[in-house]
Amino acid sequence: MLRVTLALTLLLLSAAPASAQNPWLQRRVLNIAHQGGEAEFPSNTMYAFQHSVKAGADMLELDVGVTKDNKVVVMHDTTLDRTTNGHGTIASHTLSQIRKLDGAYWFAGGKAPYDHRAKRHPFRGKGLKVPTLQEVIKAFPKTPINVEIKGRTKAEKPAEYIRNAEVLAKLLKNSPRRDIIVVSFQQPAVDRFHQLAPAIPVAPGIDGAARWVLNDQSPGDGVVAFQLPITYTVGSQVFNVTTPENVARAHAQGYAWHTWLSDDGESRQTWTNLIDWCVDGVMTAKPVAFERLLKAHPAPASCG
């Protein structure tokens, strides 16, 4: 019911700026399945998305790359080697070539979900493919989706990120859906996407987020939510980014706050802290386990 309500609200309020009513500011903390829940299911596969939603996930988080023939595929890495039985970059393969691969070839589960040395790979040969973004959007018409633009080029030359942003914008710019958020570490990619598809909400890249966190400057046009870790390390210095104070400041300015946990690790205590800090969503690799915790420990009334 929450997913349906959120989707309808987003459609109705698609033109609202961050300073106006923001439909991403929800009372319940969103259970956002990171890569579809890569610690519990094979990363970024339709199987993962289906089972995480069935378990209670409110939103899907996924990553996209662009093939040699300009098709947008869903995969976390820019190369095929870690998760599939293919080799090389997404950009050097056509969609037809990628569709022939086993999308869950190396999934082992357990503490190291993609262990190439594991004796057992339970989803190998089960028909799980690398999906396209269009397939996921069509399969989940009422489930909000977070799309991260990936790329290989370095920060000072974000050429591939920008190219991928342009291809993604061409795909999404005429979409009626407003329950999609687009993000990238590279701010130039976010800016280029927003320029080409201004109706689709975005989250800021590192530069936009840093402007806001450090100097209270605008994170960029079209931003509806911050999507940041708990801590961020620069050299030997560790910065606390997701804090009750920053979350409250974001809310006061009309922005939602989604926390991802890849760098900080996941535990019941970490999840509980985030819920108590009033974050609007948690991007978790364990949506099944997080849903159990969320039902037992909902957001405090003071977060409303």
Looking up residue 224, the CATH number of its domain turns out to be 3.20.20.190
Q: Is residue 54 part of a domain?
A: yes
pLDDT score for 178: 94
10-residue mean pLDDT profile of the chain (304 residues): values are 49 44 88 97 98 98 98 97 97 98 95 90 97 98 98 86 98 96 97 98 97 96 97 89 97 97 91 98 98 96 87
pLDDT score for 15: 40
pLDDT score for 157: 84
**Which residues are known catalytic residues?**
34, 76
Q: Is residue 115 part of a domain?
A: no
d(CA 135, CA 73): 9
> Can you give the residue range of the structural domain that contains 46?
2-11+25-64+142-298
Q: Is residue 95 part of a domain?
A: no
Q: Is residue 288 part of a domain?
A: yes
- CB contact set of 234 (below 8 Å; sequence gap of 6+): none
Q: Is residue 203 part of a domain?
A: yes
Q: Is residue 159 part of a domain?
A: yes
pLDDT score for 8: 44
* Structural domain count of the chain: 1
Q: Is residue 58 part of a domain?
A: yes
d(CA 227, CA 257): 6
